[in-house]
Structure 1
Amino acid sequence: MTRMISGLLFALMVQAMTPLFGADQVHPCTGEALPLTSEKSVVRAVECLYDGQVAKVERVTQGKSWYYRLRVLIPGGRIKTVDIDPESGMPLK
């Protein structure tokens, strides 16, 4: 019984200290783990960053690298094209 409690306390301690030692990073707006691994997570990140609704998603390949290109309906009815780096979940350039 004490062994189980000790293990649980150790696991909780490690989990609490993980951010102090450079654990996995998270997206600043959604809190999802980086890199963003699915199209759905990229859409959530962009909708959060731009307070809009994603209308179209493309995966653009350049040589060995790639990124997402999204068309976002932003407040005011305008459409904005945004290129997103899946590693950081943030706009390119």
Structure 2
Amino acid sequence: MKTARILLFLLLIPLPALAGLPEAKELARNYNCQVTAINLVSQETGTDAASVYEASCALPANATEDDKKANGKLTIRCDGTLCALVKKGE
């Protein structure tokens, strides 16, 4: 009975999202972003755990006008084990 209580307690502890910095960095690379820095913007815990990251990218010399408008920043949201691009730019 004591083991069951301990297991139940461990299951109810709020946990952060499983996808983290490496997954966010990989997603930024998929969008042709040479990552210079990634910052954690917000983190939610619980059953709907999510993390929001902002990735700063190095702009190449031949960057298009759209890339320059985005200021080389990507906002990435990670839910569970999946990361997705939220928006480009500020």
TM norm structure 1: 0.47
Structure with the bigger percentage of strand: 2
Q: Which has the higher contact order (CA 8 A, sep 6+)?
A: 2
* Higher Rg of the two aligned structures: 1
